[in-house]
Amino acid sequence: MVDLWHVTFEVFRQKDNQKSHFNFFELDINPDEYVLDGIERIWAFTDRTLVFSHACHHSTCGACGMLVNGVEKLTCITSIRDVTRDGGKIRIEPLRNFPIISDLSVDMSSLYSRMEAVGHQPILPIQEEDSKGKVKSEGDLLRLADCIECGLCISACPIALTTSNYIGPAVLAGAQQHGELTPCILELVNSENGAWRCHSAYECTEVCPSNVDPAWRIMELRRKIIANRFSSFFTRK
Amino acid sequence: MDKPHVIVIGAGFTGVAVAYDLAKRGMDVTVLERGPIANGTSGRTHGLLHSGARYAVDDQESAIECIDENTILRKIAAQVIEPNGGLFVGIDDSDMNYRDKFIEGCQECHIPLEEYKPEIALRLEPELTKKIRTAILVPDGTFDPLRLALAFAASAKFHGAKFRLFCEVTGFLFDGLGNVTGVKFSDRTKGKMEELSADIVVSATGSWCGEVAEMAGDPNIPIRPTPGVMVTYDQRLCQRVINRLNEPGDGDIIVPQRQMITVGTTSFEADNLDYIPVTEQQVNLMYHRGCELIPSIANTRERGAFMASRPLVDSGLKGRSLARTFKCFDHKVSQNIDGLVTITGGKATTLRLMAEKTVDLVCQKLSFPAACETIETPLISYRQYFSIPNEVN
Amino acid sequence: MSEYPQQPGKLIKWFDPRHRSLGSWAFILNRVTGLGLTLYLFLHLIMLGQLAKGPDAYDGFIALVKNPVFLVGELLVIAAALIHGLNGIRVGLTSFGIGNSKQKQLFIILMSLAAVAIIYFAFRMFAH
């Protein structure tokens, strides 16, 4: 039998844009369960009004991103053992830089719409995604893209904190993944709120749970934009 | 004539597919979901797009449904499917004894297959166990669970369906004769109770449909929720789905997705469906069974373990049987409660078909003549779920 | 695309390094030194304005800034310029795709250089 840990969950609460507060829930829980399991337990057994987002519980959907003790985590693969101790606490807050729907759930519509606008491909040849676009291959097997649109990078980014107009690390990485810089995409990323707004804090890559490495992709996108402008400068006439 | 208004309870696979079909046939649709999209069983699938081969020996009706729907989904939902196929791998004598039955079953169910010698199979999937004796390729695939649901939901919204998330149905509205005329629900984001009336209510609540039907006064839905555990590992050790060439059993499948693989699954019964803990024994079982097929799982970090509760329908009981795999209950027939239809059972792979049959029943009950049109048209991008405004046309 | 108002109070989090990684320290240092240098630029222009008032005013001003308090201020300006400039080299290099995977090490090396230089200047300025 596993030894249970006594853990206090400090959970951010907010309903209908009213003033926010924290609720404290004390759980005796197996430390090998995940933070999301703890939250689901609170909902199932203690407080049916708790609102939180989740779907796949195995890090493929990107719905369950939250701040766990101040750090962006996919709660479904963050084990309780890794973020607290027996008798300790876990502070759970919604992601930053997104509007809050209620409690721990945020509205990521802007992220999804922008990912669509830059043409991020949800599915593509395995080799191409494995090599982050360096190897182009046709007729290969396909796989789902690394980016799961979880929003952790946008929550961690100091520029997304500065302005919601910044299109954000995931989206810039999405443009890099799309490959071709069409005029529409170029207009979005080669702009005040695009690739040039990044200030190299590397927080996106630090928190990304899904091997995207947005910071690298942003720098790669800059290189591509420069190459694109350079060549169009000389082919203008 | 006004468009009939249909409430769909639940935004899992069945709910979103029903909403899409209803809206596409021209009905006014409101989906009420107590959590976010696909937060229950649907989200927590390993994401196997069945070819039907798994059922080709024991349950050919399901197998045929699966291969037909597999072919359709590859066309309409290509945006969320890894279409790479799956191998049924034989390792020991018992597997090899199953081989002939398996091939015969697949052929009877028109599931295309191709058998590979061990050296060819190992070239396709180098991480497979060297003990492999045969491998049979079938058109399995992997889908992204949330995004498959979102693609149907987006298409439903495109045709005017309205989604109310975090709205938990707490009871029904009745007409005085016991017939359902709408629902009472609580909006969890605001902490407010609301009521909504409808011409018909469809309960697409899967494992929870027994509880919902009971609220309407029908305690006799023969649903048996059967949870299973799955364990995800941190490396993509195979490009195709890997199945054990044998009778369905615990830990007999490895499903690749993105840069991960998921080993599943077990089968048992649970009491409280809202929270079912994962036990260490089950995780260990998945590990050992997974290692029999792909030994290098032993050198891979465990990424997560999770549980989903399948809604299995008890066979041979009352209710209008549409197929052995899923059932659509008209509560008018079973308990003389009009205005409520329950759809449950089935598999993710057959979500579209389940919706088609359910909406056929709804159309028949409402005398609303409209044919299903979900087979040919590709779904719109799942991301449009977020950009289409939530208003009834 | 839905936009929503940003709360101005949130910008204080620019300077909150808790739970963040080394990259945020680089970002914070660059913000602080950038703002400091901008402020200094204005002071500097005001000082140059003194020149227009003739030699006496200028000499008086120079006497004032030989005060140790101003020396510390000057050292801060030198420190800010070093930190901002050297960190700028890191940002520039990584933007050209150089050293992305080693940006943390790059930051530590450049900031060590800055620290050595600051100590050297402090020594020179306060030694006599």
Using one digit for the tens of pLDDT, what is the confidence trace for C97-127? 888 888 999 999 999 999 999 999 999 888 7
**Tell me, what's the pLDDT at C2?**
39
Helical pair C103-126 and C22-51, crossing angle rounded to 10 deg: 40
Is C50 in the A-facing interface, judged by CB distances under 8 Å?
A: no
Chain segment B229-288, per-residue pLDDT in tens: 999 999 999 999 999 999 988 999 999 999 999 998 888 888 788 899 898 999 999 999
**Tell me, what's the pLDDT at A236?**
67
**Tell me, what's the pLDDT at B320?**
35
Structural tokens at position B72: 């359709």
**Tell me, what's the pLDDT at B313?**
84
Residues of A in contact with C24 (CB under 8 A): 158, 201, 203
pLDDT higher at A13 or C61: A13
Structural tokens at position B289: 């069974």
Query: Which CATH code is given to the segment(s) B5-42+146-222+314-387?
Result: 3.50.50.60
Phi/psi at B233 (5° precision): -115, 155
**Tell me, what's the pLDDT at A1?**
59
Residues of A in contact with C6 (CB under 8 A): 162-164
Return the SS3 of A104. Answer: coil
CATH number reported for the structural domain that contains residue C107 in this entry: 1.20.1300.10
**Tell me, what's the pLDDT at B174?**
96
Domain that holds residue C90: 23-126
Return the SS3 of B174. Answer: strand
**Tell me, what's the pLDDT at B1?**
54
CA distance B212 to B59: 29
Q: Which of B258-262, B367-371, C18-22, C65-69 bottoms out in mean pLDDT, i.e. has the lowest?
A: C65-69
CA distance A196 to A233: 19
Chain segment B171-200, per-residue pLDDT in tens: 999 999 999 999 999 999 998 999 999 999
Please name the residues between 48 and 107 in chain B that touch chain A, using a CB distance below 8 Å: 78-84
Question: Are C21 and A99 within 8 A, CB to CB?
Answer: no
Is B239 in the A-facing interface, judged by CB distances under 8 Å?
A: yes
**Tell me, what's the pLDDT at C98?**
86
Question: Which of the residues A202, A220, A225 would you substitute to probe the C interface, choosing the one with the greatest number of C C-beta atoms within 10 Å?
Answer: A202
- The verdict on residue C116 lying in a domain is yes
Q: Are A191 and A225 in contact (CB under 8 A)?
A: no
- The verdict on residue C47 lying in a domain is yes
Domain coordinates in residue numbering, chain B: 5-42+146-222+314-387, 87-140+224-312
Buried residues in B353-371 as b, exposed as e (16+ CB within 10 A): bbbbbbbbbbbebeebebe
Range list of β-strands (E), chain A: 5-13, 21-29, 65-68, 71-74, 89-93, 100-102, 105-106, 123-125, 142-144
CATH topology of domain A5-106: Ubiquitin-like (UB roll) (3.10.20)
Residues of B in contact with A32 (CB under 8 A): 280
pTM of the model as a whole: 0.93
Residue ranges, chain B, pLDDT below 50? 317-323, 392-393
Q: Which among B363, B317, B3 has a CA at the least distance from the CA of B159? A: B3
Token match 């057994």: residue?
Answer: A45
Is C9 in the A-facing interface, judged by CB distances under 8 Å?
A: no
Q: How many domains is chain C built from?
A: 1
Residue range(s) of every CATH 1.10.1060.10 domain in chain A = 109-234
Please name the residues between 94 and 113 in chain A that touch chain B, using a CB distance below 8 Å: 101-102, 105, 108-109, 112-113
**Tell me, what's the pLDDT at C67?**
82
Residues of B in contact with A211 (CB under 8 A): 259
Domain A109-234 in CATH: superfamily?
Alpha-helical ferredoxin (1.10.1060.10)
- The verdict on residue C71 lying in a domain is yes
CA distance A5 to A146: 34
- The verdict on residue C93 lying in a domain is yes
Residue B3, Cβ density class (10 Å: 0-12 exposed, 13-18 middle, ≥19 buried): middle
**Tell me, what's the pLDDT at A237?**
53
Does C3 score more than 50 pLDDT? no
In a 13 Å sphere around the CA of A125, the CA atoms on its Cβ side amount to: 12
pLDDT higher at B318 or A46: A46
- The verdict on residue C90 lying in a domain is yes
Cα B255-B256-B260 angle, rounded to 5 deg: 120
- What's the one-letter identity of residue B166? F
pLDDT higher at A102 or B321: A102
Please give, rounded to a whole number of angstroms, the shortest distance from the CA of C108 to a CA of chain A: 14
Question: Are A203 and C23 within 8 A, CB to CB?
Answer: yes
Residues of A in contact with C18 (CB under 8 A): 70
pLDDT higher at B317 or C9: C9
Chain segment A165-200, per-residue pLDDT in tens: 999 999 999 999 998 999 999 999 999 999 999 999
A63, A105, A145: residue with CB nearest B146: A63
Cα B185-B190-B195 angle, rounded to 5 deg: 25
Spatial neighbors of B208 by CB under 8 A, at least 6 apart, are B10, B40, B273
CA distance B346 to B333: 21
Decide if domain B87-140+224-312 falls under CATH 3.30.9.10: yes
**Tell me, what's the pLDDT at B194?**
96
Residues of A in contact with C14 (CB under 8 A): 158, 161-162
Residue A155: pLDDT band (50, 70, 90) is very high
Residue C63, Cβ density class (10 Å: 0-12 exposed, 13-18 middle, ≥19 buried): exposed
End-to-end CA distance of chain B: 15
Token match 């997304």: residue?
Answer: A160
